[in-house]
Structure 1
Amino acid sequence: MSIPGAGALPRPTPAYRWLVLVFASLAMFGNYYVYDALNPVVDLLREQQGFSYRQIGMLSSAYNLAALLVLLVGGYVIDRFGARRAIVAFAAVCVLAAAVSAAASSFPTLAAGRFLLGMGAEPLIVAVTAVLAKWFKGKELSFAFGLNLSISRLGSASADWSTSFAAPLYSNWQDPLWLSTGVMAAGLGAALLYWMLERRAEGRFYLGEAAATDRLDLRSLYRFSASYWYIVALCVVFYSTVFPFRSFAIDYFQQAHGLEREAAGILSSLLPVAAIFATPLFGLWVDRVGRRSLFMAIGSLVMLPLFLAVTYLPPGPDVMVTIPLVGSGEVPLTLLCVILLLGGVFSLIPAVMWPSVAYIVDDRRLGSAYALMTLCQQLGWIAVPLVVGALNDRYLAGPENPAGYAPGMWFYTALSSLGLFFAWRLWRAERGQGGHGLETITVGSNR
């Protein structure tokens, strides 16, 4: 059966598709940098502004609350008006949010900046996800997602590295946030370049038929399959574990393990750095062999003991870790091994999880499906920083009482066990008659 319009125009060339990927991913680089720029200044906020751990958690939750309010509408906007316009609009909101945060002089204003960031950053992620699905479906989609995540997480790593390459800025908490504003402004420039590329491609390349947009209707959510909801549940517990841990990680390494700020930043950065290299490799591998639900289960199993290992295993000898052009620092061997393993999990699960949705959801509902998935992610993510912050305050966590951080680590472990359960349920569902091919679809197979 012929596809209308497909014969009249050529498909986009590989070079054009990869250029699209680069500019969309650079917008995500700025997005991730701005979000993680707050992590290295947690101790400064506590010392210079007198914030409690609970208030630090509230800053993270303000972001997630905004994402909850905007994501379903954002998904509809993407489906209705197109990802091209959405990327530019949401990137502009992120620049404004970064500037508000950097200029803040009080907790309410800083919280307002993080709230505004949530209104732009999470829909921006959804828009970029929809772009990749549009340009790469059937063309090594998992590999494209992996590269996008690698560039995005380079933004996270760069925020951690700023403790080294921008060390003079850390005499106060605001200057690092002004740096993040400049980085996001460059990300907005990349979004505009993507807009120009897609605008130029119209009429020159066949980009697929514009399917009728599915009206956003909460009553129709039952139409998503069980496999979709298992992926959503895994997404919720995975991101509710890893990202809140990263929010407190640099401060935790300083207070509980006695690391210097530069060494703590380098150690924290190894989590996204591992993902930078491993995520596209995992994506390429999965494109070749399938077994997507099985890989998600394996990643969940590996993550389960890691937070308790950080808490209870002997630290081991100090190891010098050097990142060229960034800096170096001595870190305990046990922490180094755990963070590298967590980085592997941080690579494997997202590289498989996000593109899997494109195989089990109808194209015309893809933007709303990704938005709904991200919204559900926020439901868990909004609560976890508040819980961990409250546990740290309740048990008087700090350099004089490192054991006070243990309850929070047990909480992360409980979430990890839920992730393993949902990944197992997905694997069981996809092996049955109602499976969508997550275990079998490869680049060389026919869907």
Structure 2
Amino acid sequence: MTRDHRLDPLPPPPPAYRWAVLVFVSLAMFGNYYVYDALGPVIDLMREQLGFSYRQIGLLSTAYNVAALLVLLAGGIFIDRFGTKKAITVFALVCLAAAVLTALTPRYETILAGRFLLGLGSEPLIVAATTALAKWFKGRELSFAFGLNLSISRLGSASADWSTGFAAPLYGNWQDPLWLATAVCGITLTAALLYWMMEQRAQRHYQLGPTEEAEKLRLRDLYAFSPSYWYIVALCVVFYSTVFPFRTFAIDYFQQAHGLDRQAAGLLSSLLPMAAIVITPLFGLWVDRVGRRSFFMAAGSLVMLPLFLLVTYAPPGPDIPLLVPLVGSATVPLTLLLVMLVLGAVFSLIPAVMWPSVAYIVDARRLGSAYAMMTLCQQLGWAVVPLVIGYLNDAFRASPDHPGGYAAGMWFYTALAALGLVFSWLLYRSERGPHGHGLETITMHSAAERIHDRG
């Protein structure tokens, strides 16, 4: 009797194939992050050459978040129905079209539409990329793959800041840097198409395993979420509503309020994503070993509290050389350098602890709803703050001739940081009490024993 080899199970994909997939998915994310952050370095040019107000600039950021909210409410239906290879390619096309639309014309309405379209493509691209990695990696490799993907993605953000140096000749007008971002977005589409071809081939030759279901928001499950979960959600909202809008305006702020040139301001702003690239995985490994998650969230919130007032009122100190290898160098005031380094550390610590902590608090059956609700609330807060900062800058006549006009915005960031400290302290108190979920005590070793016992 001969055996029908067509019935033999397909082998799993070899490691080299999987890591090549990771590279292409991450490159797609690299271009996506670059396009989003390309707005920051041209804010002053848009104000000078196009006459945009800070309020209009803030609305450009908010338009992205509103579109993202619409996508989150729609859930992962498209990804579920058409698969990751088609989803990543379609959303990459949307991002490329958004980049073209943003750079195409000086009309404010067209640029606003471009940023809205970017929100429609960028957020589901992130979900599709996450779903793809979940399909290709499992076990201990999954966390490492996600970490590498995040590092390469954040490199896109840093590169947008660095473009003020390596692409300095383009910054004679507002449009050329955005056309550069459009070209970089071509990497996103190219990587998406290469991923499509790799998955298409793998489906014929390898066993990929089940695809994790895309997250959907189930409002009926919200009753089961504990106060600790909602404290984390509140911290998430105020933390990202502080850091991301600050990054949007940072290069312009350093130029207008502190007199830095564009390259120095870009290098200084890039310290935030650079820290996330390097330090976030290290913080994650550390906290997995020692526990104390709610304590570290509170500690990070406390450290962040005075930073925005320091950049406003503290003496600038002596000029210090800042060198980013292969990118450029500049001299920046010591106070600004120290504040950005500390903020970069906080930007690495809190996310490294906050997002995994939800998995210890929420039942696994409701984890998708928990993360979807957390992201939805994050986008709501993030949508509002740029409008507020733009309004405050305009209302207090912020400009190089009146740098004190930027102080109101810095006080608003400080108020948000204070709220973050309140929520993180409430979380710490809750987790130290009789109804804690183990955020203070669970370590890598005890979590493994817990999973084994449940199995």
Question: Does residue 445 in structure 1 map to residue 444 in structure 2?
Answer: no
In structure 1, the partner of 2:160 is 159
Contact 2:221 2:366 survives alignment (8 Å): no
Contact 1:123 1:371 survives alignment (8 Å): no
Report deviation, 1:157: 0.9
Report deviation, 1:403: 1.2
Q: Distance in 1 between the 2:375 and 2:335 partners?
A: 33
Q: Distance in 1 between the 2:356 and 2:133 partners?
A: 9
Counting only pairs closer than 5 Å after superposition, residues 326-405 of structure 1 correspond to structure 2 as 326-358=327-359, 369-405=370-406
Deviation per CA, 1:343-387: give whole Å up to 9, x if none.
111112222333444555566765554443222111101110110
Question: Does residue 313 in structure 1 map to residue 314 in structure 2?
Answer: yes
In structure 2, the partner of 1:75 is 76
Identity of aligned residues (%): 71
Larger Rg: 2
- Give the superposed CA RMSD: 2.8
- Name the SS of the counterpart of 1:325 in structure 2: coil
Deviation per CA, 1:378-413: give whole Å up to 9, x if none.
110111011011111111111111111111111111
Report deviation, 1:271: 1.5
Deviation per CA, 1:111-161: give whole Å up to 9, x if none.
000010111112222333344455556416554433222211111111111
66-75 or 42-51, which deviates more: 66-75
Which amino acid in 1 is paired with 2:155? L
Contact 1:313 1:334 survives alignment (8 Å): yes
Q: TM-score, normalised by structure 1?
A: 0.89
- Name the SS of the counterpart of 2:397 in structure 1: coil
- Name the SS of the counterpart of 1:50 in structure 2: coil
Which amino acid in 2 is paired with 1:440? I
Report deviation, 1:46: 0.4
Q: 1:265 to 1:213 in 2, by over 3 A?
A: closer
In structure 2, the partner of 1:176 is 177
Which amino acid in 2 is paired with 1:293? S
355-364 or 30-39, which deviates more: 355-364
In structure 1, the partner of 2:303 is 302
In structure 1, the partner of 2:265 is 264
Question: Does residue 237 in structure 1 map to residue 238 in structure 2?
Answer: yes
Which amino acid in 2 is paired with 1:235? C
Q: Distance in 2 between the 1:9 and 1:353 partners?
A: 38
Q: Distance in 2 between the 1:190 and 1:370 partners?
A: 27
In structure 2, the partner of 1:419 is 420
Q: Distance in 2 between the 1:251 and 1:154 partners?
A: 20
- Name the SS of the counterpart of 2:76 in structure 1: helix
Q: Distance in 1 between the 2:98 and 2:354 partners?
A: 29
In structure 2, the partner of 1:57 is 58
Q: 1:197 to 1:134 in 2, by over 3 A?
A: same
- Name the SS of the counterpart of 1:354 in structure 2: helix
Q: Distance in 1 between the 2:209 and 2:430 partners?
A: 31
Report deviation, 1:249: 0.6
Which amino acid in 1 is paired with 2:98? A
Report deviation, 1:298: 2.4
Contact 2:98 2:114 survives alignment (8 Å): yes
Which amino acid in 2 is paired with 1:254? Q
Q: 1:178 to 1:410 in 2, by over 3 A?
A: same
Contact 2:75 2:216 survives alignment (8 Å): no
Report deviation, 1:227: 3.9
Contact 1:140 1:287 survives alignment (8 Å): no
Question: Does residue 435 in structure 1 map to residue 443 in structure 2?
Answer: no
In structure 1, the partner of 2:4 is none
Question: Does residue 145 in structure 1 map to residue 146 in structure 2?
Answer: yes
- Name the SS of the counterpart of 2:75 in structure 1: helix
In structure 1, the partner of 2:130 is 129
Contact 1:130 1:367 survives alignment (8 Å): no
- Name the SS of the counterpart of 2:437 in structure 1: coil
In structure 2, the partner of 1:281 is 282
Contact 1:37 1:177 survives alignment (8 Å): yes
Report deviation, 1:332: 0.1
Q: TM-score, normalised by structure 2?
A: 0.87
Deviation per CA, 1:67-107: give whole Å up to 9, x if none.
11121213344455544443222222111111110102210
Q: Distance in 1 between the 2:429 and 2:139 partners?
A: 25
Contact 1:126 1:371 survives alignment (8 Å): no
Q: Distance in 2 between the 1:154 and 1:206 partners?
A: 32
Q: 1:282 to 1:12 in 2, by over 3 A?
A: farther
| Unpaired stretches in structure 1, ≥5 consecutive residues | 1-6
In structure 2, the partner of 1:4 is none
- Name the SS of the counterpart of 1:185 in structure 2: helix
Which amino acid in 1 is paired with 2:66? L
- Name the SS of the counterpart of 1:372 in structure 2: helix
Q: Distance in 2 between the 1:311 and 1:145 partners?
A: 36
